[in-house]
Amino acid sequence: MSLGLVRKVSVGEVCKFHYGKALKADARSGGDYPVFGSNGVVGHHDSPLVVGPTVIVGRKGSFGEVKYSAKSCWPIDTAYYVEHDPDLVDLKWLYFRLATLELTRLNSAAAVPGLNRDDAYRLEFDLPAIDAQRRAATTLTAYDELIGNNSRRIEILEEMAQAIYREWFVEFRYPGHEDVPLVDSELGPIPEGWEIAAFSDVAEFINGFAFKPAHLGPEGLPVIKIKELKSGIGGDSPRTVFPDVPDKYLIEDGDILFSWSAHLDAYVWTGGKAWLNQHLFVVRSTTGVPKYFLFHSLHGRMGEFRARSQGTTMKHIKRSALSEVKMAVPPASIMARFEEVVADLHELKLNLTRAARNLRETRDLLLPRLISGEIDVSDLDIELADSVA
């Protein structure tokens, strides 16, 4: 059911962009009020520049990025904050609407990317009735809150698994440790009976496939590069139906990935079946060392890998570092017990990630149609529930 549009309006007719005010990092007191830059919160202060909720739009650098602050805040001079007429437009709806206008396309500067507000003011869109705006904004906000809740739970699960690993294998307070003395090793004191092994001795590190531009397109399985590893698969992620990629480059949920170029870190992949691009290793145990113990050991030694990185503009590690960086390997019974404990945490994290991905896809599908007034919330059979207990 179409809502019937009030009229077509321009951005400048429904709101105004005001310059933020400079607040140097050493002047931010760390109070209750968030300080917004062009791409989100950059600190906190003890007083606000803007009282009440507002929308922040990036002006310089990450120009055109749109953020919402539910509380009073301080936008700095690389950002605009929005003033609106509440009788004409709902603020949260305006936030969603501005986010769909692709303000990042309106670059007005050659040297330093920037958004000229007059260019933004000229953009036009359809304005539904205020009640329809509020209904649409309420529904989209509910999706965002569920996604945010899942993200926070994922962070907690990650922290729990890492804390258990540190307790058992860094502090050596694992079950039964009281009866095992520490002995000297090349890594320092370790429990008696444990071994020292290089990562290359316990696992295979398979570099991703060297996809060429001709291999990539809009169809097929996604190709995972560093961007997708850090931010997830998006609409602009490359895909391929290239038939000659060996199966060893196919990754699935739960695989360990190691970025050895530019962004040096280890991850447990949760993005579904995909192909791995070069500059990323998929790490697979070759000696029976359990997967999650291997991941946490690798993650815990990333400081040593980074210390061995080379390059000025783009850091990378040589494959020789996999033989130089070593880990303490406990008896199989201790590794198996650890795996039992943390596997449930990682499985719940995976389920939460899938739920958040489904919620995000549904939200992104609904957003333009709800915001434009093409459909009304009352036309939808939506049950917003937390899909993972």
Contact (Cβ atoms closer than 8 angstroms) between residue 259 and residue 279:
yes
- The CATH code of the domain at 7-127 is 3.90.220.20
Sorted by sequence, the CB contacts under 8 Å of residue 214 that are 6+ apart come out as none
Asked whether the CA dihedral 122, 84, 361, 223 is positive or negative, the reply is positive
Sorted by sequence, the CB contacts under 8 Å of residue 14 that are 6+ apart come out as 84, 85, 88, 89, 94, 127
- Taking the chain, what is the end-to-end CA distance rounded to the nearest angstrom? 34
- Strands 256-259, 265-268: pairing kind: antiparallel
Q: Tally the residues of the chain.
A: 389
Distance CA 332, CA 330 (A): 6
Q: What phi and psi, each to the nearest 5 degrees, are found at residue 46? A: -90, 0
Sorted by sequence, the CB contacts under 8 Å of residue 234 that are 6+ apart come out as 228
Pick the CATH number of 195-329 from 3.90.220.20, 3.40.50.280, 1.10.10.10, 3.20.20.70: 3.90.220.20
Mean pLDDT by 10 residues, the chain (389 residues): 64 96 93 94 96 95 90 96 94 95 76 84 92 92 94 95 97 96 96 97 96 94 93 89 95 95 90 95 95 96 92 85 96 96 95 91 89 72 52
DSSP assignment of 344-366: HHHHHHHHHHHHHHHHHHHHHHH
Contact (Cβ atoms closer than 8 angstroms) between residue 274 and residue 229:
no
Q: pLDDT at position 247, please? A: 95
How many Cβ atoms sit within 10 Å of the Cβ of residue 294?
A: 23
Alpha-carbon dihedral of residues 352, 301, 250, 239, nearest 10 degrees? 70
Distance CA 64, CA 39 (A): 9
Q: pLDDT at position 5, please? A: 53
pLDDT digits (tens, 9 = 90+) for 43-60: 999 999 999 999 999 999
Q: Judging by beta carbons within 10 Å of its beta carbon (0-12, 13-18, 19+), is residue 342 exposed, middle or buried?
A: buried
pLDDT digits (tens, 9 = 90+) for 83-101: 999 999 999 999 999 999 9
Distance CA 33, CA 43 (A): 9
